[in-house]
Amino acid sequence: MESNRPRYCLGLLIMFMVVFSLGIERTANDYILAIVSFTGINIILAVSLNVTNGFAGLFSLGHPAFMAIGGYTTALLTFSMEKKPLFLPDLPQWLIPVHLPFFPALLVGGCFAALVAQIVGISVLRLKGHYLAVATMGFLIIVQVLLNNANSITRGPLGLNGLEEFTNVSWVAGWVVVTIYTCWKIKFSSLGRSMLAVKEDSMAANSLGVDLFYTRNFALTVGAFFAGVAGGLWGHLITAVTPGSFSLIMSFNIIVMVVVGGTGSITGSVTAAIIFTLAIECFRPLEENFGIYGVGEIVISLVLILILIFKPSGMFGTGEPKFVTGKYKQLSPTNGK
């Protein structure tokens, strides 16, 4: 009774990603490549926030905090050995010889973010709704303050710069596939059903034996892992991580993607992430040529307001579109722009 369509779509997505990333890396200029990479990172961020926010219904504003944790961890692990004494003279002894290649560093960054999410979850997940949103916002601010003041490790407001430019379209494309696959698998399994159940009616879910805390914490952790990885990719794309980058504005942007795409819909998050990243880039020449800065932000905010008024469930609602779970198909044509 289960359709094989998702499997074909996954194959299609992988093939498309391979061809696309190889093709574009040969042909396009650096500007295009950067935009494509940002789009991919935004997809990872939106889809992973969708697990926390869309599946389990935890309105978290703390996504950039996990991104920052992952980003800084990865940056420290890959930081070149020659520059370390110069840039970070006060680095704790045990951290000086620690050095990892890019991929393991990304994994460690993601896992560290996930670990922090577990610990934060213990206290924060007792709260619900608005209170949870405020608490996660507080967590984001705490992380920012820590990054700003832990000079010996993070260089404070200066941030870690001069990172090597490891991130390219292939890396991002690979992680996009992994993120989408994982979140898709979770959604269409017992784990995902229990998350959706907790979101819809926590008391009923609990009475059916679903452990609320475990389920919520798991959703937060999965989201945090991919946010951490995205942070690592992001840092090595712009070759710097600063505390200011992981701001409330960023969490606003990610949430807009999730809400506009449809809370709970993976297809929606992917589509919205693509549209938003490209829209902002499209507005940039307009802003620079005519000196009307901020048009992109205004348009995006307007879109959010209009969506909330006319289609509060977002472009795709909670589900995946009907062309039988054709999420992967949906991705290919839109991403090909």
Partner 1 sequence: MTHKKHLLHVVDLVKRFGGLVAVSDYSLTLEQGELVGLIGPNGAGKTTVFNLLSGVLKSSSGNFFFNSQNITKFSPAQTARVGIARTFQNIRLFEDLSVLDNIKVAFHMHHGKGFLNTIFHTKKFRQTEKEITQKAMEFAELMNLTELIHEPAKKLPYGDQRRVEIARALATNPKLLLLDEPAAGMNPQETAELMRTIKEIHAKQDMTILIVEHDMRLVMNLCQRLQVLNQGQLLAQGTPEEIQNSPEVIKAYLGSPKENPHAIC
The residues of the shown chain that bind partner 1, judged by CB under 8 A, are: 1, 182, 185-186, 189-191, 193-194, 196-197, 200-201, 203-212, 218, 264, 318
CB of 190 to partner 1, least distance (A): 3
The strand ranges marked E within the chain are 160-161, 240-241
CB of 188 to partner 1, least distance (A): 9
Cβ distance to partner 1 smaller for residue 44 or 205: 205
CB of 224 to partner 1, least distance (A): 14
Cβ distance to partner 1 smaller for residue 15 or 178: 178
Cβ distance to partner 1 smaller for residue 226 or 246: 226
How many whole angstroms separate alpha carbon 173 and alpha carbon 270?
A: 13
CB of 1 to partner 1, least distance (A): 7
Cβ distance to partner 1 smaller for residue 87 or 188: 188
Handedness of CA 109, 112, 118, 122 (dihedral sign): negative
Distances (CA, A) of 231 to 24, 47, 202, 226: 23, 14, 31, 8
CB of 107 to partner 1, least distance (A): 14
How many whole angstroms separate alpha carbon 304 and alpha carbon 286?
A: 21
Cβ distance to partner 1 smaller for residue 156 or 319: 319
Q: What is the DSSP string of 11-67?
A: HHHHHHHHHHHHHHHHHS-HHHHHHHHHHHHHHHHHHHHIIIIIIS----S-HHHHH
3-state secondary structure of 241: strand
